[in-house]
Amino acid sequence: MTSEDWKYLPELCLLMILEKIDVPISQVQFSVVSKHWHSVFNTFLDYKRRSSTSRIPLLLIPSKKSSTKGKLYSLQAKSKVCEIELPKLHTWRYCGSCYGWLATVNESKVITLSNPFKNVSSITLPRLDTEDFDLEEYSFTIPKVVLSDDPLLYPDSYVVIVIYAPNEQLAVHKSGQKDWIYIDRDEFSEFNFSDIIFHKSFVYAVGTWNNLLSFDVNGIGENETSNSPKLNVLLKNELIGNNYSDGAYLVKSSMGNLYSIHKHVDFEEMEEYDNAHSTKRFDVFKLILDEENGKLLEKKEVNHIDGDIVFVGDNKTLAVSALDFPQGQPDSIYFTDDYFYMNSYKPFGPRDIGIFHLKDKSFGKYYQFKPSHRDLPPYIWILPPVDFKPTLSN
């Protein structure tokens, strides 16, 4: 077969090839081979846009009427919602969403993973051996729970990392272990962590003072619960005002690049309540890493995220290619209200939600907050499985 023959392969064959390519940049490279391949690529995109309503995160909105029911709000289906059965909410909020699993914590500091999309048993993790805290008063003492993989696909090898109070520390649990591994950070006590990501061979953690650490969990064995992974300090900033952000996130773009995203909040002084807040901007930095040892080579501020749309909040931070989400604007951040300080949240509810456009630093809306939701737990992004077919209604 000559190169000319390759240019004119039947459309069905080319579509089957495209279906196997899951890296967006490779799909784009496919499209420039010839005019015929470009035409097939456009056909492929049209098909994906019509059939991929479950590939984009859904906004999970708790119900005022029931703690075991909620609504899923679709960004793609023109503001449609569907109802869903939810796991029991032991405390006031869900403390994580990852691969379609929701994390809850009870009064005994036991975290449970439940999947509302699948008829599967919940996963009960070991009790966290931490300082006592009042779950009734402090519902945000487990800010985030992140999984390395979907437990349904990798039941024997997935890893869970949690950020927990006090002072936003880290604990690691590997499937099959009987206990948690607590990250020893005595030398870095000022590092209050805000987000975690599994990226290539390392785990990266970022804090609100823009400090960045990495560590390796690949060597953790089933009987190594007492050994804390060694921390590698990639970026250590001084504790001064211009290094602080009110929230920090880590995300891997659809092109495989790592970015840190930093949220800054404005506060409103009100007669009845203190510290009402609203997001005023996001700053984005590209993290250029050494391919061999994972160390940070360069951190530079940018106004893009490889054209992706990013979803931040209590969930695992997600990036979606604009090719998969044509309704969204490239290089934009969809955020939920995840800033909690003293009494700054509960009087107002999850009202600090919106879209931040990096190109022109403007804000937009994706969901109209309802005053009746003031007493609700925070909204959270959740990624449904590919085969999830919601029954949508107005």
Residue 53 has pLDDT above 70, yes or no: no
- Give me the architecture of the 52-382 domain, per CATH: 6 Propeller (2.120)
Q: What are phi and psi of 137, to 5 degrees?
A: -90, -40
Tens-digit pLDDT profile for residues 179-224 = 999 987 666 666 788 999 999 889 999 988 889 999 998 877 655 5
Q: What is the DSSP letter of 2?
A: -
> Nearest CA to 158 among 128, 123, 193?
123
Give DSSP secondary structure letters for 23-92: -HHHHHHHHTS-HHHHHHHHHHHHHHHHH-TTSS-EEEEE-SS-TTEEEEEETTTTSEEEEEE----SSS
Report the pLDDT value the prediction gives residue 51, as an integer from 0 to 100: 43
Rounded to an integer, the average pLDDT of 50-73 is: 75
If you average pLDDT over residues 105-111, what whole number do you get? Answer: 87
Q: DSSP for 157-170?
A: T-EEEEEETTTTEE
DSSP single-letter state for residue 245 = -
Asked whether residue 86 carries a pLDDT value surpassing 60, the answer given is yes
Confidence band of 288 (pLDDT split at 50, 70, 90): very high
Closest CA to 316 of 102, 53, 89: 102
User: Per-residue pLDDT for 70 more than 90?
Assistant: no
331 — pLDDT class (breaks 50, 70, 90): very high
At position 40, the amino acid (one-letter code) is V
Closest CA to 279 of 267, 261, 296, 293: 267
Residue 129: what pLDDT? 84
Q: Which residue has the higher pLDDT, 92 or 146?
A: 146
**Does the structure show a pLDDT above 80 at 82?**
yes
Q: Which residues, including other chains, have CB under 8 Å from residue 163's CB and lie 6 or more apart? A: 142, 143, 144, 145, 169, 170, 193, 194, 195, 196
pLDDT at 85 over 50: yes
Please report which confidence band the pLDDT of residue 167 belongs to, taking 50, 70 and 90 as the band edges.
Answer: confident
Instruction: For CA atoms 136, 145, 234, 303, give the dihedral sign.
Output: negative
For range 266-288, the mean pLDDT: 79
Q: What is the share, in percent, of the chain residues with pLDDT greater than 70?
A: 82
With residues binned 3-state (H G I as helix, E B as strand, rest as coil), the percentages for the chain, rounded to 5, are 10, 35, 55
pLDDT over threshold 50, residue 54:
no
For the chain, the domains span: 3-47, 52-382
Write the burial class of residue 147 (CB in 10 Å: 0-12 exposed, 13-18 middle, 19+ buried): buried
pLDDT of residue 52: 45
Task: Please enumerate in sequence order all residues whose Cβ is within 8 A of that of 306, keeping only pairs 6 or more positions apart, or say none.
Answer: 253, 254, 255, 257, 319
Average pLDDT, the chain: 83
Average pLDDT of the segment spanning 342-349 = 61
pLDDT tens digits, one per residue of 91-101: 678 899 999 99
| Most confident option among 10-14, 98-102, 107-111, 366-370 | 98-102
Q: What angle do CA 116, 366, 95 make, to 5 degrees?
A: 40
